[in-house]
Structure 1
């Protein structure tokens, strides 16, 4: 279902876009202009992105797109954005004329990602889009095509791909620390408040799998380095309290990978479910608590042979929020400067959406 910009503005879950110029010293080079960003969508996730940009040496906020002018002006003053660089959803195509904008960050509800990615690409701006990339495989493919046609870069905001403890975990598995991966267990969810846009099909495109569940799905892929080939799934809605408007409340699924590894994942909008994944290997196990913006905790226990003493790891990443967002934006800005493909391009989001479609099909749910 498509929802209009005017209807979205009335719902109160807004958008904005930000961008600004300046010069900064950069690694062995004289001086380079910061990459200017226009953040589209003035909700909670946009605040994390903007605070991450504020701590970046490569990037800056230079424009806003919002359906609420008053709110946008307050944020503009906070980040030094001129009022002339505040746009509405209706006139945001004028960002083409703003030379201070190099790229946009799409922070809107899921069902609006495709439209605003394509419009931004047509305006000649690189795009960093929040996950899930879109609400269908067809939309993901259209976004990739639009960015390629406009010769702009498209990156999906998988911030954990740039987080040090996650990268360490992946390296440990690739180096064989816990042996051959046999199974993965993962969960992520929360008890959603009434009237959240996420709980409506029109804006969310689906239930928790489209939101927090994508963390577990994506984790199984980067941990194994493989794409799943078989799926089972079941969806339920125990709470008939009006919060779930055409979407599931709970979803549990299993996946089989080409190597023979299996994964079991659960996601919910009906309970507090702190995110985690645990990987079981032939030589031991490792676990990471939280998919959150800070406080990731790695524990592991493994041994090279049965007679050797166990190696134990208990490590936390002390970096506070919004450091993950700073790392992510620095990566994208470097890709723009150096004309490199991001580590999490549109194709990464497309793969997740293809698997989400398979999970929903296994649960008897039709997208669209």
Structure 2
């Protein structure tokens, strides 16, 4: 089967993760990247021995690629996806899919018309531990699943753009809450969400942003199951990434940081997350595999080769975005929001729903 030739949009942390993950995927090859930052682009090209372009349009035109992976700030996702679809390239878009339902709809329709895939990158849905938990639950090992409890927390992101409402669209909810939402949906078989209840606050990073850095969500699904989701940039001293699956006849507990992790205490921080990785942390000797990136990229590659629908699509990304919009409204109005939910027309970015009520 013909290899899928990838071009990476962006040369930062997540693009490096995908480049390394794709190097392990048969039938996939990274051939190009693009970034307006010349120094970053040059270093990335030298590391991965690929061609570099100053912008995505040049890469789409001259990069000899079949697909793009969009790994740049959130406000850029929609236009890049539209341009890629117009050029006949498959699209893998990092979370969140877009900053508005209108943008999401345009992306979905553009890819449909162009006959290319729009894949939504939510790596938690491909984590080996969680996949095994889903297999066990589906086999009836713990009876009827009535709740998914997902926790993902650390001390804050690795780049300043995450703290900018106009570039990120929101805080921790748009950064990590989307992971937990889609993981819970996928684990339960993607039943419709009937209602969303949310609490959020700015706990740790008030000098850096007006946006939320700590969120708790309760999702109510058709069929009666619920999801309790905790996401935070306000956990000092390391990271949590934990799932509890509660059933009528048992429970499954999965901790991504246990099993292949080291125990490290650092006063100054280290690695990509420095200085956020201060205190006790548990670096994984197989971090990419543990977090599902090679599995995710292998699945998307196979779908492109076979012309089959991906497990995580643009439509899934739209559903997650709608849930997050409802969550911001719920936290602002201090009440449960029913779905489907349509935000006011004058909302520029999702977090505005909360910031306006907050007075931000």
Give the TM bin, normalised by the shorter chain: 0.7 to 0.9
Worse-superposed segment, 168-177 or 125-134: 168-177
Superposed displacement of residue 239, structure 1: 3.9
- Give aligned pairs, total: 308
Q: Would you say the 8 A contact 2:124–2:183 is kept in 1?
A: no
Alignment match of 2:105 (pick from 121, 141, 163): 141
Alignment match of 1:260 (pick from 206, 224, 235): 224
Alignment match of 2:22 (pick from 45, 53, 57): 53
Q: Which runs of 5+ in 1 are unaligned?
A: 1-31, 296-317
Structure 1 residue 242 and structure 2 residue 207: aligned?
yes
Q: Would you say the 8 A contact 2:118–2:313 is kept in 1?
A: yes
Question: TM-score, normalized by length of structure 1?
Answer: 0.77
Worse-superposed segment, 49-58 or 235-244: 235-244
Structure 1 residue 103 and structure 2 residue 67: aligned?
yes
The match for 1:338 is 306
The match for 1:162 is 126
Alignment match of 1:189 (pick from 153, 156, 176): 153
Q: What is the distance in 2 between the residues matched to 1:163 and 1:239?
A: 29
SS at match of 1:211: helix
Worse-superposed segment, 113-122 or 156-165: 156-165
Superposed displacement of residue 127, structure 1: 0.6
Q: What do you get for the CA RMSD once the two structures are aligned?
A: 2.3
SS at match of 1:352: helix
Structure 1 residue 276 and structure 2 residue 242: aligned?
yes
Deviations 1:92-143 (A, max 9, x none): 3233433621101100111211111111111221111111111222221111
Q: Would you say the 8 A contact 1:189–1:213 is kept in 2?
A: no
SS at match of 1:177: coil
SS at match of 2:203: coil
Q: Would you say the 8 A contact 1:170–1:222 is kept in 2?
A: no
Structure 1 residue 115 and structure 2 residue 84: aligned?
no
Superposed displacement of residue 336, structure 1: 1.5
The match for 2:96 is 132
Deviations 1:54-113 (A, max 9, x none): 22221111111111223322322332324xxx2222xx3233433621101100111211
Q: Which runs of 5+ in 2 are unaligned?
A: 262-283, 334-346, 353-360
Q: Which runs of 4+ in 1 moved over 4 A?
A: none
Worse-superposed segment, 266-275 or 40-49: 266-275
The match for 2:254 is 288
Question: TM-score, normalized by length of structure 2?
Answer: 0.79
Alignment match of 2:9 (pick from 29, 37, 40): 40
Alignment match of 1:212 (pick from 176, 183, 190): 176
Alignment match of 1:65 (pick from 23, 34, 41): 34
The match for 2:274 is none
Structure 1 residue 228 and structure 2 residue 186: aligned?
no
Q: What is the distance in 2 between the residues matched to 1:261 and 1:278?
A: 14
The match for 1:309 is none
Correspondence list, 1:339-358, <5 A: 339-358=307-326
SS at match of 1:266: strand
Change (3 A) 1:264 1:325: closer
Change (3 A) 1:240 1:39: closer
- Structure showing greater radius of gyration is 1
Q: What is the distance in 1 between the residues matched to 2:226 and 2:60?
A: 47
Change (3 A) 1:60 1:240: closer
Deviations 1:305-360 (A, max 9, x none): xxxxxxxxxxxxx9823333222222222211111111111111111111111111
Deviations 1:268-326 (A, max 9, x none): 2222450212121110111121389x76xxxxxxxxxxxxxxxxxxxxxx982333322
Q: Would you say the 8 A contact 1:187–1:267 is kept in 2?
A: yes
Worse-superposed segment, 265-274 or 59-68: 265-274
